[in-house]
């Protein structure tokens, strides 16, 4: 069982490490979009797409970089008592709190799937079966949701990125849970 846990941890940590390292460069994409926004407003006709695109890039940067942040332990935590605890006590506390985080991420993932299905023109109550039907070809895309701004981009691409980010975050939290179990047992990973 420990070998299976270590394999899961290595696989998920490796995937999220690679995605996180790529997303680190997303800040340069964001800077480029905002720089073009400033230049076009100053010297040319202002671009309609720049500020909303900057928001989309920031969402992708934040959502897809989150699992990497959790993996590195660079998320914010209150260290009033935690810093003085033993490794085993920290693992027990982290195990309990990560269970709450997994539940919360499950709710967020369900909401992201529902929102994405809505953005693809689905108004029913079974968003997972709708998205599965899109993959298999048994469902069709309806009237797609667009932003209410003057640029009016489709919203399903950024909502799909949200699904991917929430899913990767959920996988990383399960990895952290397994690391805590191994720490409690006195094993290393």
Backbone angles phi, psi at 146, to 5 degrees: -125, 160
Q: What is the per-residue pLDDT for 75?
A: 75
Per-residue tokens: 173: 């939290």
Q: What is the per-residue pLDDT for 139?
A: 87
Q: What length is written for the chain? A: 189
Per-residue tokens: 2: 């420990």
Q: What is the per-residue pLDDT for 97?
A: 93
Q: Please report, in tens digits, the pLDDT of each residue of the chain (189 residues total).
A: 788 999 999 999 999 999 999 999 999 999 999 999 999 988 988 888 999 999 999 999 999 999 999 999 887 777 788 888 899 999 999 999 999 999 999 999 999 999 999 999 888 889 999 988 988 988 888 889 999 988 999 999 999 999 999 999 999 999 999 999 999 998 877
| Phi-psi sector, 152: left (phi>0), alpha (psi -120 to 50), beta | left
Q: CA-to-CA distance for 63 and 50, rounded, in angstroms? A: 20
Q: What is the per-residue pLDDT for 52?
A: 93
Nearest alpha carbon to residue 177 among 101, 105, 106, 107: 101
Q: Tell me the pLDDT tens digit for each residue of 22-53.
A: 999 999 999 999 999 999 988 988 888 999 99
| 171 contacts 16 by C-beta, under 8 angstroms | yes
**H or E stretch at 48:** none
């Amino acid at each position: 069982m420990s070998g299976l846990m270590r394999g899961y941890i290595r696989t998920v940590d490796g995937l999220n490490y690679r995605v996180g390292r790529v997303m680190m460069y997303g800040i340069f994409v964001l800077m480029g979009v905002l720089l073009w926004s400033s230049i076009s407003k100053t010297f040319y006709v202002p671009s309609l797409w720049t500020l909303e695109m900057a928001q989309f890039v920031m969402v992708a940067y934040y959502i897809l970089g989150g699992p990497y942040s959790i993996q590195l332990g660079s998320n914010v935590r209150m260290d009033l008592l935690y810093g003085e605890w033993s490794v085993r006590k920290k693992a027990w506390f982290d195990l309990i709190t990560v269970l709450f985080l997994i539940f919360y991420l499950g709710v967020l993932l369900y909401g992201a799937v529902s929102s994405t299905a809505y953005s693809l023109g689905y108004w029913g109550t079974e968003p997972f079966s709708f998205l599965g039907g899109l993959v298999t070809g048994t469902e069709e895309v309806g009237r797609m949701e667009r932003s209410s701004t003057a640029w009016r981009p489709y919203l399903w691409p950024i909502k799909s990125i949200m699904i991917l980010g929430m899913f990767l975050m959920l996988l990383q939290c399960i990895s952290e849970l397994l690391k805590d179990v191994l720490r409690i047992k006195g094993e290393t990973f």
